[in-house]
């Protein structure tokens, strides 16, 4: 399931080995003039009168060295992107002087050091891409003064600290926030639901704690909520309100909270989540009780991952209604009763993992209809009777 956890907003990088030198200014300018990257003024004026350039994009090459200081003279730049190279050094403080910038993308490089305070002077910045570097320290408090910011991407660094409680008020235009794979902690700020256009909250692999904000459902454009591998809590009294509130998020496609500290019983309001939902993964928590029968409403689910919890009761018959399911993972729980024969309707299913439960009775012959199935693992249950009478078209059957 881990492949679901990472944002896919960056273009796929395909960088073969062998970086080209980019540190010498001479090389830098040769590279610059080879690429169609600037306004026509950049080319018309043959010398270094390049200050009218508004776009400089060198992303997804094999450039090495540090970010050349010459760029500091391109004072009209609106877009500066050097993402997806092999650039070292730091983000130079002079970037804060490029006051026209609306996009700064330096992601997927080898940049170190901290995020310079000076970036908070880029009052027109809409896209800030810092992801996949080796950036250290905290996200400077002043950065949350960039009130035009729409995309904040800094995942896969070594950033620490917590998110300010008023983040959603100070960044009212935020659409996407990617901060996964850092060392961030503290609570998920309730004010996120004040950023009314927010669509992607992608902050897995951190140490966020506490209960989820109760009214995330005010984010009517919310489509992805990735919070896997954090320390989010819930019990029978508190912590599940957010799920109920998400019923208003009609674009919700992915809800992934694998490996947190969610306990208590799943609310029946799960039945009211958007029918657009494709990924529902709440595995590796301490959720008890049964899966609400209303799960049958989520007819576009492609992955349902509830494994490694304390779930009891039977597997709802209605799971057979989820015709788009590719992956059904309910292993390592305490399910009892029969395997519903309706699972034989899930003809798209690729993996069916029900191992380590208390399931009993016969294996339903209908499972023989699952022609796409590559992994069928029913081991360590209390199943009896004959092995599937109608031969399953499985390529691989695991047996533990
Ligand atoms: C990037 O640079 C580092 C150190 O300068 C070097 O070891 C590495 O091979 C380079 N990677 C690529 C893909 O060029
Ligand atoms: C910026 O431009 C000025 C004037 O053309 C020049 O003197 C200076 O060296 C340039 N700075 C950098 C870092 O290239
Ligand atoms: C930014 O510009 C100001 C004024 O033009 C200048 O004093 C300052 O040194 C510049 N900062 C950097 C980091 O280059
Ligand atoms: C944010 O901007 C306000 C007003 O422009 C200023 O007073 C405040 O000091 C800034 N905050 C930070 C943390 O820079
Ligand atoms: C933020 O949302 C809350 C409701 O959750 C509301 O009471 C508050 O006024 C909002 N704040 C701002 C600054 O819009
Ligand atoms: C959900 O929508 C209903 C009707 O549009 C509204 O009354 C309710 O306040 C909304 N709930 C949340 C949590 O935003
Ligand atoms: C689903 O939403 C409807 C309408 O808002 C409500 O009547 C119903 O009780 C909800 N169902 C659950 C299981 O929460
Ligand atoms: C779904 O599965 C059940 C139980 O195997 C079966 O009775 C039913 O006809 C199936 N529905 C469809 C539409 O195939
Ligand atoms: C397994 O099934 C047998 C016979 O039906 C029953 O006696 C036993 O308690 C079951 N064991 C578990 C762990 O459910």
User: Would you say the CB of residue 385 lies under 6 angstroms from ligand 9?
Assistant: no
User: Would you say the CB of residue 215 lies under 6 angstroms from ligand 5?
Assistant: yes
pLDDT of 173 strictly over 80? yes
Q: What is residue 340's DSSP assignment?
A: P
Q: What are phi and psi of 336, to 5 degrees?
A: -125, -175
pLDDT at 50: 54
User: Would you say the CB of residue 294 lies under 6 angstroms from ligand 7?
Assistant: yes
**How many whole angstroms from 117 Cα to the centroid of ligand 4?**
11
Note the pLDDT tens digit of each residue in 35-49. Answer: 433 322 333 333 334
Q: What is residue 314's DSSP assignment?
A: P
Residue nearest to atom 6 of ligand 7 (CA): 272
| Ligand 5: nearest atom to the Cα of 172 | 14
Class of domain 15-155: alpha beta
User: Would you say the CB of residue 345 lies under 6 angstroms from ligand 8?
Assistant: yes
| Ligand 4: nearest atom to the Cα of 141 | 13
Question: Does residue 103 sit in helix, strand or coil?
Answer: strand
Q: Where are the domains of the chain?
A: 15-155
State the Cα–Cα distance between residues 348 and 161, nearest whole angstrom. 43
Average pLDDT, stretch 200-206? Answer: 98
Burial degree of 85 (CB within 10 A; 0-12, 13-18, 19+): buried
**How many whole angstroms from 140 Cα to the centroid of ligand 4?**
11
pLDDT of 27 strictly over 90? no
pLDDT of 28 strictly over 70? no
**Mean pLDDT score of the chain:** 87
Least confident of 19-33, 137-151, 208-222, 253-267: 19-33
Instruction: Give CA angle at 390 (385, 392), nearest 5°.
Output: 100
> Is the distance from CB of 150 to CB of 173 less than 8 angstroms?
yes
**How many whole angstroms from 86 Cα to the centroid of ligand 2?**
25
pLDDT at 53: 79
Band (pLDDT 50/70/90 cuts) for residue 233 is very high
Band (pLDDT 50/70/90 cuts) for residue 295 is very high
Average pLDDT, stretch 70-78? Answer: 92
Average pLDDT, stretch 382-397? Answer: 61
């Amino acid at each position: 399931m881990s492949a679901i956890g990472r944002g896919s907003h960056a273009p796929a990088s395909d960088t073969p080995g062998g970086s080209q030198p980019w540190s010498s200014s001479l090389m830098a300018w040769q590279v610059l003039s080879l690429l169609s990257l600037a306004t026509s003024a950049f080319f018309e004026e043959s010398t270094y009168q390049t200050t009218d350039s508004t776009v400089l994009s060198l992303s997804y090459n094999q450039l090495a060295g540090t970010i050349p200081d010459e760029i500091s003279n391109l004072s009209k730049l609106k877009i500066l992107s050097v993402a997806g190279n092999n650039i070292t050094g730091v983000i130079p403080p002079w970037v804060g002087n490029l006051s026209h910038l609306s996009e700064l993308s330096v992601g997927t490089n080898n940049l170190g050091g901290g995020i310079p305070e000076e970036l908070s002077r880029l009052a027109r910045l809409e896209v800030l891409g810092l992801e996949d570097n080796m950036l250290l320290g905290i996200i400077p408090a002043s950065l949350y003064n960039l009130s035009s910011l729409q995309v904040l991407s800094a995942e896969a660094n070594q950033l620490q600290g917590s998110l300010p409680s008023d983040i959603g008020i100070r960044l009212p235009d935020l659409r996407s926030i990617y901060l996964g794979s850092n060392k961030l902690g503290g609570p998920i700020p309730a004010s996120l639901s004040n950023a009314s256009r927010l669509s992607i909250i992608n902050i897995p692999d951190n140490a966020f704690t506490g209960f989820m904000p109760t009214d995330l459902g005010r984010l009517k454009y919310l489509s992805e909520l990735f919070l896997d591998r954090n320390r989010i809590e819930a019990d029978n009294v508190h912590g599940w309100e957010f799920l109920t509130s998400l019923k208003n998020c009609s674009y919700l496609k992915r809800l992934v909270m694998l490996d947190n500290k969610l306990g208590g019983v799943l609310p029946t309001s799960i039945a009211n989540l958007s029918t657009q939902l494709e990924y529902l993964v709440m595995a590796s928590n301490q959720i008890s009780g049964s899966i609400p029968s209303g799960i049958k409403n989520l007819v576009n689910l492609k992955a349902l991952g509830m494994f490694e919890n304390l779930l009891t009761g039977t597997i709802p018959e209605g799971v057979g209604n989820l015709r788009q399911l590719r992956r059904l993972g309910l292993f390592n729980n305490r399910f009892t009763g029969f395997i519903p024969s309706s699972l034989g309707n899930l003809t798209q299913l690729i993996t069916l993992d029900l191992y380590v439960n208390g399931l009993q009775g016969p294996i339903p012959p209908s499972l023989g209809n699952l022609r796409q199935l590559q992994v069928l693992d029913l081991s360590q249950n209390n199943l009896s009777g004959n092995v599937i009478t109608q031969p399953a078209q499985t390529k691989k059957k695991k047996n533990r």
